[in-house]
């Protein structure tokens, strides 16, 4: 099973991204391109990053009716990205449609279980989900597994349970990662890279702890050292 540190490139323009990447020289990285950058720069940016040898997790969190998700995934597959995701809340039929759309592209397809910004209280009071965070994430993981997806996006604290239930090969990608001295920002369920390693996560997604660090390359190295 591959493991690694994925950098969340939450920038609003290609210029900002290039400024950031310049610090890493020609090094090949695993980059997460999310909605902000994709909606501002479009698929051409993704093609260019792939040509330069980077691996890409396209984090668009698709959530729509199955047919729309299937057709969209077909389009995204042509970008030869390495990872992509859908919302587990779209249920099994939508996730199966995503799998169908991805065809034999080899893209690792993940389901977002619950966003790491959601708290137990919000789950219960605002989303009216009474099952509790842990059981909800596990159930969404099982649904994703049943739909033939490759793994889930979950918090560090659910990675072990997901592996126990869905198998060690079922990929866990965990955001909400902070170096020990950093702020938690808008996450409710954060962890350090070391804690993520101990919980058996396969990939960590790190944004601001790297992109906003005084020395981003050093922060990235620290994440690698603590996680791998």
Phi, psi of 9 (to 5 degrees): -90, 70
Q: What are the residue numbers of the active site? A: 61
Dihedral angle computed from the Cα positions of residues 54, 98, 65 and 43, in that order, rounded to the nearest 10 degrees? 20
Q: Residue 90 interacts with ligand C5P (CB under 6 A)?
A: no
Half-sphere exposure of 131 (CA within 13 A, CB side): 10
Which of 162, 205, 219, 223 binds ligand C5P (CB under 6 A)? It is 205
Q: Residue 175 interacts with ligand C5P (CB under 6 A)?
A: yes
Q: What share of the chain is helix, strand, coil (3-state, %, to 5)?
A: 45, 20, 35
The CB-of-208 to ligand C5P minimum distance in angstroms stands at 3
Which of 125, 185, 215, 221 binds ligand C5P (CB under 6 A)? It is 185
Helices (H) and strands (E) in the chain, counts: 11, 8
Q: Residue 80 interacts with ligand C5P (CB under 6 A)?
A: no
Q: Residue 153 interacts with ligand C5P (CB under 6 A)?
A: yes
Q: Residue 208 interacts with ligand C5P (CB under 6 A)?
A: yes
The CB-of-20 to ligand C5P minimum distance in angstroms stands at 13
Which of 207, 220, 222, 227 binds ligand C5P (CB under 6 A)? It is 207
Q: Residue 206 interacts with ligand C5P (CB under 6 A)?
A: yes
**CA–CA separation, 187 and 104 (whole Å):** 35
Residue whose beta carbon is closest to ligand C5P: 207
Binding span for ligand C5P by CB under 6 A among 40-48, 101-109, 112-120, 133-141: 112-120
CB 211 within 8 A of CB 198: no
Nearer to ligand C5P, 79 or 158 (CB): 158
Which residues fall within 8 angstroms of residue 132, CB to CB, at 6 or more apart? 120, 123
Which of 77, 116, 136, 143 binds ligand C5P (CB under 6 A)? It is 116
Q: Which DSSP category does 205 fall into?
A: E
**CA–CA separation, 135 and 86 (whole Å):** 19
The CB-of-219 to ligand C5P minimum distance in angstroms stands at 11
Phi, psi of 172 (to 5 degrees): -115, 120
Binding region for ligand C5P (CB under 6 A): 8, 10, 34, 59, 112, 115-116, 153, 175-177, 185, 187, 205-209
């Amino acid at each position: 099973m591959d493991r690694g540190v994925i950098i969340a490139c939450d920038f609003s323009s290609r210029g900002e991204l290039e400024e950031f990447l310049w610090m890493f020289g020609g090094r090949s990285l695993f980059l997460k391109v999310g909605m902000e950058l994709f909606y501002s720069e479009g698929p051409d940016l993704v093609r260019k990053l792939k040509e330069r040898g980077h691996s890409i997790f396209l984090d668009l969190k698709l959530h729509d009716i199955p047919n729309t998700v299937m057709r969209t995934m077909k389009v995204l597959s042509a970008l030869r990205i390495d990872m992509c995701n859908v919302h587990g809340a779209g249920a099994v039929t939508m996730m199966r449609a995503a799998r169908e759309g991805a065809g034999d592209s080899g893209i690792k397809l993940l389901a977002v279980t619950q966003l790491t910004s959601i708290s137990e209280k919000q789950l219960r009071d605002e989303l009216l989900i009474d099952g509790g965070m842990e059981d909800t994430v596990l159930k969404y993981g099982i649904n994703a597994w049943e739909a033939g997806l490759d793994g889930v996006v979950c918090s560090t604290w659910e990675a072990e349970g997901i592996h126990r239930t869905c198998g060690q090969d079922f990929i866990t990608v965990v955001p909400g990662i902070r170096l020990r001295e950093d702020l938690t920002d808008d996450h409710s369920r954060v962890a350090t890279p070391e804690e993520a390693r101990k919980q058996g996560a396969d990939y960590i997604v790190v944004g601001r702890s790297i992109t906003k660090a005084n020395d981003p390359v050093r922060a990235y190295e620290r994440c690698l050292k603590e996680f791998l």
